Structures are given as structure tokens and as C-alpha cells.
Amino acid sequence: MNATTMAEARRLDSFIGEVAGEGVPHDLADRVLLRVRALPPRRRRPGRLAAALVMLGGVAVVASVSALRRGADFVPTQEPATPERLATVTNAGVRPGPDQRFDLAKDSDAVTEILRIARQVGSPIVLTGGLTGKVAQDAKGLPWRTAVAELAARIGAGVGEYGPILVLAPRVKTLPYETPLTLVTKDVDVRAFAKTVAARTGVAIVLAGDVHGRVRCDLNQASWRDALGEVARQLGCVVEGCGAVLVLRRAPVAAAPTLRTHFEFVDLGLAEAVATIAKITSANVVVERMADVKVSVQGDEVSCGAVLAAIAAAVDTNFMGEAPNLFRLGGGNIAPKTATDVTAEDVDLRTFAELVRTATQINVPVPSDAKERLTVFAIAAPLADLLRAAALATGRRVVDEFDAALGRAALHVK
């Protein structure tokens, strides 16, 4: 071979080595070209073509064998990662329609107006009895949650969310529905969005560890509650209430249907109300000592457990779901009402409990294997609400059990 041919052969040897790796003879191209040169002139051209095909086939085989020999060094092509969901929220997307806005007339009865609004928007609601008040002045076009919050203030009650139900009672801390949200973000993690909403409005928010996604928003004096709900919807999540704390978690997988029905009674005695609910739903309710108070309940398509939990919150008593159709209601309320400040991003449940203990000096037992993760943004949140929110976000529950160290019943996360 002349110098040019030999140089070409060396370059080809180098290329083959780079492609196929170890296991390829360093002079493979040189050998093939020598064999072609030995052919008679009339057979060289087709011979060169055949040689080229042989070389390509050989390279493919040797490369495959070499890859298998390398074993751990071989990195297969990976499928591209699934992009995170993006929620886009604007004023137009969260602006309440005409049927979600209400006019309030001066001197109208506040409780009657609250029940009217809840009925029209389809929101289940529980109020403690004996609440009275009048609308102070005319108001036009109020978003429904803002209207309820203003009316609740007139009767001396706070407004909280317990599951799907609004609860109005004097002891309930009010969610800041009337605080508007102005926020512009290009593309931020949902946790950063929730943190900003919590900081600007004062609402406490807990996010489950499996909530992921990004948020793009352009909001000006909008309803933060509607914006949070729309972000959750677009990310395949739901917002659930635990009193003054809201939980953002993945939409639960459909389970066995729970009996849901219609409830509507005004200023009914507590014992009679519980008995009526138990009879309608065929639920088993263990009732301990309860205060002689009255409640008003209104709602469609709500479960027995949800209504009983809301009533317990309204009258400040204990509620436990012992089994799917067995509930316990009454007794002294052991839930700590300590206002709690906790900010923690992507921590496990045990770390959260330790942060609570540090902030409040209250020990909350959690299972030793509790590794579920959550994110918490809470300022002055009632501790009982925060514990229930943390349990909901991690798929656990809060129960009251005897604590030997305290010598009395206390809340545990199970």
C-alpha cells in the first residue's frame, strides 16, 4: 500500500476503535485493504464494496460484544423524563361568575343570608345555634366566601373549612377570605407558590409530599382561595380543609362509595341533631357527654362522618371515626388550641412532630416508621388543626389515646 492508503487505513482503524471500543483488532482496516489489493484489477471495485460491507458488519458485531463485556460501563439510552404539570392561573380563570356574587341589604338577618348563600352555591355548612346579627350596610357584588366571612363577623363567629363543609362558630379561627391576592409568577414550583400565598394572606397551608408541579400566574386583587383551588385542579390535586389549615394533596383514588345524603335543619338541639343524622344514614354513633347547645346544618351529597366532624368542630367537642360506619362524638375536647408557627419544606412526619414540640413544648407521638413527607407553611395556626392537616397530607389520622407520661388522654398521629 502507498502512504496515502496506509494513512486512510490508520484513520479508519482509529474510528472503528472509538465506535466499537475494546475487542477490535487495531489493524482491522489495514488487513482488509491488503486483502483487496491482492485481488485482480477487474475484481477490485466490487471487492472493495464487499470489503466495506464486511467491515461494517464486523464493527457492529464487535461493538455489541464489546458493550456486553463492559457491563456496568454501558449506559443505555434513557427515556426522557415526564415534564411536570404546569398550572396557569389568571384573574379571568378565578373570577366568580354572577351566581357566585351576592348583594347584602342593610339590616337583613345575617344567619338567613348565610344559609341563602350556602344553598345557592352548593356549599355544605354548619353553624352553632343562638347566633344573631344584622347586616351593617348595603354591599354589592361580593364574592360568596367574602360575603360569608363578613356576615360571620356580624354574628361573632369565625369561618373554617372542615373537609368539604364550612363551619361557623365563635371558637373557630377565620380563614382570611377577604384578603385579596396580587401575584405574578413566570414558572415556579407549586411549593414556592403556596409559600407566597401563605405569607401574603396569612392562611396556613400544608402540602403532601407527592404534590408536584409548576405554577404560572398573573393575579391582581384576586381571590387567593379560588386561585389555590384552580392550581390544585390543574395539577390533579384537591384542597381540603382542616379548620384554619388547608391541605393540598393528590386527588384520592375513587374508593367504595360512601352513603351521602341531604341534611337541613335550623337550631336543632345537639343530641337530637346527632340522632337524626344517625337515623338517616344508618350510622352507629357513640355519644358521650355533650353540651346542651343547638346547631344548624345544611348540605347536599355529604357523608355522615363529614357532617359529624363539622358539628364537633362547631361545638368544640371530640370526634373520632372508629370504623367506616362507627363514630364517637362528645367528651371533653383534648385538642390543643395553641397557636403554632411552623415552616418546614419537604420534611418527614417525625421531623414535623419534633418541630411542633420545639415550637409549643407539646409532644405529639408519631409512629417510629413515619417517613411520609410534607411541607408546612403556618403562622399562628391552631395546633389541633395543624396536626389533622399533617395527618391528612401523609395518609394517617389523629386519635386520642391515653398517654402514660401525661397521665391523661392526648392526641397521637397513627
Tell me the pLDDT tens digit for each residue of 248-307.
999 987 655 566 788 999 999 999 999 999 998 899 998 887 778 999 999 988 889 999
C-beta separation of 35 from 51 below 8 A: yes
How many CB atoms are located within 10 Å of the residue 383 CB? 22
Instruction: Give the pLDDT score at 323.
Output: 78
Residue 413 one-letter amino acid: V
pLDDT tops 50 at residue 60: no
Strands 125-128 and 86-90: unpaired
- Pairing mode, strands 139-143 and 158-163: unpaired
Angstrom distance (rounded) from CA 162 to CA 302: 12
285 against 6, higher pLDDT: 285
Q: Which residues contact 388 (CB under 8 A, 6 or more apart)?
A: 242, 243, 245, 398
- In 21-115, DSSP assigns E strands to 86-90, 101-104
Contacts of 34 (CB under 8 A, 6+ apart): 1
**Residue of 313, 298, 53, 344 lying closest to 195 (CA atoms):** 344
Of 255, 261, 309, nearest to 281 by C-alpha is: 261
267-278, pLDDT tens digit by residue?
999 999 999 999
Whether the per-residue pLDDT at 381 is higher than 60: the answer is: yes
Entry pTM: 0.78
CA distance 174 to 157: 8
pLDDT at 23 (0 to 100): 46
Report the share of the chain in percent with pLDDT over 70: 75
How high is the pLDDT of residue 257?
58
Mean pLDDT check: name the lowest of 15-24, 90-99, 166-175, 334-343: 15-24
Q: What tens digit of pLDDT does each residue of 147-175 get?
A: 999 999 999 999 999 999 999 999 999 99
